[in-house]
Amino acid sequence: EDRSKRTELKRGAKAISALGTHLEDRLFALQASVDTNANLEARVKGLNKDKVGLRKEWLELRAEREKIALQMDEVRRAHIQSEQKRRAEDDVNNALFDIDVAIQRGKERAKEEKREDEGPELSLEWTLKEVTDAVGSDRRGGGLLDKIRSFNRVLEKTAQVVEGRA
């Protein structure tokens, strides 16, 4: 009986040892799975941080794009206004030229008819004053030169903004 008990005990010990080995293998596999899961969670967390950073950058770029669009609209508006003002000044200049031509024709006709004493005289001072007022910067709204300088400043600012993004 001792022998059969011993054999049975040996068999039980081997079975327990085999079960222990199997459980150790399973535990090792589970630990590997836990480690892999932890690594994947850390990677997902890092990717989520990247995603948040990229979203923030995208929103900043979008806001900057809108700001540039507003600046471009302002430049366009200023350009349209300056063009309208230039056209109005051209109309005035053309009208003054037409008046000057009419005066010259009147003078020529008066000369032909021996009436040189008649008609208006435009002094050189008046003509110079008109040109100076149109081009210079002494008048209330600024002259043509001031408007060109102002428009150039707007264009330079716009170019700096665009080059900053390029």
Write down the mean pLDDT value for the chain: 85
At residue 136, the pLDDT reads: 65
**What is the chain's length?**
166
155 vs 134: CA distance, rounded Å: 23
Which range of 46-50, 109-113, 162-166 scores highest in mean pLDDT? It is 46-50
Lowest mean pLDDT across 8-22, 62-76, 83-97: 83-97
pTM score:
0.43
Q: What is the pLDDT of residue 80?
A: 94
Which DSSP string do the residues of 55-102 spell out, in sequence order? HHHHHHHHHHHHHHHHHHHHHHHHHHHHHHHHHHHHHHHHHHHHHHHH
Q: Where are any strands of DSSP class E within 51-164?
A: none
Give the tens place of pLDDT for each residue, 98-107. Answer: 888 887 888 7
Looking at per-residue pLDDT, the higher value among 71 and 161 belongs to 71
Taking alpha carbons only, the member of 143, 141, 155, 164 closest to residue 76 is 155
Q: What residue spans define the domains of the chain? A: 2-165
* pLDDT tens readout for residues 32-47: 999 999 999 999 999 9
Burial of 144 (0-12, 13-18, 19+ CB in 10 A): middle
* pLDDT of 166 above 60: no
End-to-end CA distance of the chain: 95
Report pLDDT for 140. 59
Spatial neighbors of 133 by CB under 8 A, at least 6 apart, are 139, 143
User: Is pLDDT at 119 greater than 80 in this prediction?
Assistant: no
Q: State how far Cα 39 lies from the chain centre.
A: 41
Least confident of 102-106, 122-126, 127-131, 146-150: 122-126
Q: Would you state the pLDDT for residue 141?
A: 59
